[in-house]
Amino acid sequence: MNESRAALRYAKATLNLAVEQKATDAIDRDMRSIVQTISDSNELKEMLASPILEGSSKKEVLLTLFKNFNEITKEVFSLLVSKKRIDLLYEVASKYIALNDDLKGENVALVTTAVPLTPSLEKKILSQIGKITKNKITLENQIDESIIGGFILRIGDLQYNASISNKLNSLKREFTNSI
């Protein structure tokens, strides 16, 4: 099974339980903390991905690290360990955040550019995105000099790639295919 699809299923199940128990905000805080902690710690990433360590040891570390978390989040740890999918924790947490934001009518638009966006350009982008979606949009700017210029816009599962590197790659494919 595709890792992303599996993570999405776990995230949906977690969100459904959180909605049922009216704990979506608490779980959202937990999931954001998990994403941040795993992003900041290579050791934690390696530990979760390690096939050598037993699941019970991984669960023990997570419960110690995140001891003040909601019981639903702790149950997610247990479920992922029992299904031998604890390596998906980061992805499950990320997908939960996106699903919860969508449920609240909020979305994050990720704009990748070669240089930082100016405040006036951010405003223009937000107004254009506002015409497309009725949800409240938060803009995040990611810098990637390899795109050379232009931008890549991602909102949820939708992506629009207007980068120069993408256009150059398209031209290269066209030339290669026509030879």
The domain of 122 spans 106-178
Same domain, 63 and 115: no
Same domain, 87 and 142: no
CA distances from 54 to 42, 87, 131 (A): 18, 12, 50
* Of residues 137, 128, 58, the one with CA closest to residue 104: 137
CB count, 10 Å around CB of 116?
10
- Tally of domains in the chain: 2
Q: What is the pLDDT of residue 1?
A: 47
Among the ranges given (26-35, 71-80, 81-90, 102-111), the one the predictor scored with the smallest mean pLDDT: 102-111
3-state secondary structure of 50: coil
Out of 68, 102, 136, pick the residue that ends a domain.
102
Out of 75, 102, 129, pick the residue that ends a domain.
102
CATH classification at residue 61: 1.10.520.20
3-state secondary structure of 150: coil
Same domain, 130 and 95: no
- The bridge status of strand 151-155 relative to strand 136-143 is unpaired
Q: How far apart are CA 58 and CA 87, in angstroms?
A: 10
Same domain, 25 and 55: yes
Report whether 93 contacts 76 (CB < 8 A).
no
Same domain, 140 and 83: no
Q: What is the pLDDT of residue 2?
A: 62
Q: What is the pLDDT of residue 155?
A: 83
Q: How far apart are CA 87 and CA 45, in angstroms?
A: 8
For residue range 12-57, list pLDDT tens digits in order: 999 999 999 999 999 999 999 999 999 999 999 999 999 999 999 9
